[in-house]
Amino acid sequence: MKSRSQACFFYFYTIYQLKKILFYLSKSYTLDLRALALMRIGIALIIIADLLIRGSDLSAHYTDAGLWPTNLIHTFGWKAGNWSLHELSGSYAWALFLFCLHFVFALFLLFGYRTKLATLLVWLLTISLHNRNLFVQQSGDDLLRLLLFWGLFLPWNAFYSLDSKKQAIPLKQNTLANIGYLLLIASVYFFTVSLKTSAEWRAEGSAIYYALSLEQLRLPAGDLLYQYPTLMKLFTWFVFYTELSIPLLILWPSKKGKLRLIAFVLILILHIGIGLTLYVGLFYIINIVGGLALLPKHVLDKVESKLNTSSRSARVKKQTLVLSIKKTSPIRYITNGICIFVIIISIIINLSAVNWFGYELRKEIWYPVNVFRLDQYWGMFSPSILKKDGWFVYHGMDSIGRQWDLYRNNEYVNYKKPEHIVKMYKSDRWRKLAENMQNDNYTFLRPLYCRYIIREWNIKHPNKKMNMLNFFYMEKQNLPDYKSSEVKKNLFCVCNDN
């Protein structure tokens, strides 16, 4: 009898302690609802900016008249479970319609109008858009999709939204969704530093030197930094140890969020540095905006008090107190189940990228991962820095053998390096496409790009029509001490206007 009563006492004591731990964690991982709202607004603005950038090349990248027609979508890079509304038609009108629809729902998200529905539709349209042309994508796009996914479960419409003006938004937070978001941001930095295994990062301190040696990426601020080898070495160590410390600062339990504030400041410094020196499009902005929800309550209180805003109300004071352990509804069970599944899957996907983890997801699991584009790989400049660099030359010939430089619009074909290679690219989408074409795993892109270039040239220059285009890549290898190999002239493709 005594042993039974002891067992009961031990059981209830364990449950009590477990609830205390869970309540402590829920308090420690509570996010400020205003910070979530700022992240929502930032993400919506990024999507709008991205649509405008992509829209300037709508025909080139998303129609059958461009370099990636719909009949090829399933041929290269497509995985079981991938889908895209954009592939239903290769017409310009269909692509424009979907872009406009995407833009409208992004505005809904921006202003917080029917926010949950808008988040869902923007997320689905973003998946569809990304799947339409996989070869102009970069890792910032993966982060954007995953932020939108977690936005489905985060109350980022509780402030600064039309929804909150019309009705009182429940201030409850889902601890699992909060943890999922925090793990996402932490994973970006933990796994990118885990994958940086080369001597340039871990022994030589030469990673920033080699990154800035890539003239197809280097911006004017990068030109300035490139003149100081000691400073580049110091920045290499700064980047490495900053990325190493950010995950710990994010995930360490902190009721007041001071450690997460430090993490956000480091993210801000790191990505402003990247954006000023390297041409990475919206990548650095996505990372900064993705970290906005790390901002703690006391920081936003100070900001609002200085701005003399009226939104600092009792709702703000209560927001960190409403997250408690209560009876769970069936919908909450489903929500929690989805969050747990995605958290576990995301951890396994990221771990499978490192050498010491031998487990990989089964094919059956990869199918829903591909459907919802939960795939992720945070390997920028990993395991080592790309050292192959160069520029393209478009050597055209007309029907009687006259030659023409299609890039410079000159009868003399110039194979010399341009003063600024990075200026050859209209946007980061074109630069990413060019980077992929330089990779021997994507040689199928070269003839498609070549035919697109000569076709567009002949449409725009009917008096200088070219019958043939020799598409060259002038390749050089970046070496230590500001040296490089001799330029190698690679013929990527010869194509005709047909």
Whether the per-residue pLDDT at 400 is higher than 60: the answer is: yes
Task: Give the C-alpha separation, 18 to 10, whole Å.
Answer: 12
Average pLDDT over residues 233-257: 93
Whether the per-residue pLDDT at 135 is higher than 50: the answer is: yes
Question: What is the radius of gyration, based on Cα positions, of the chain?
Answer: 26
Among 25-34, 88-97, 236-245, 428-437, which stretch is predicted with the lowest mean pLDDT? 25-34
Concatenated DSSP letters of 421-472: GGGG-SSHHHHHHHHHHHSGGGTTHHHHHHHHHHHHHHHH-GGG--SEEEEE
Given this model, what pLDDT does residue 320 score? 45
| 403-405/468-479 β-pairing | unpaired
Q: pTM for the full model?
A: 0.91
Q: Which two tokens stand for residue 138?
A: 């970069």
Given this model, what pLDDT does residue 324 score? 40
Given this model, what pLDDT does residue 151 score? 97
Task: Give the C-alpha separation, 174 to 180, whole Å.
Answer: 10
Whether the per-residue pLDDT at 130 is higher than 80: the answer is: yes
**pLDDT-derived band of residue 457, with 50, 70 and 90 as boundaries?**
very high
Q: What percent of the chain stands above pLDDT 70?
A: 91
Task: Give the C-alpha separation, 372 to 388, whole Å.
Answer: 34
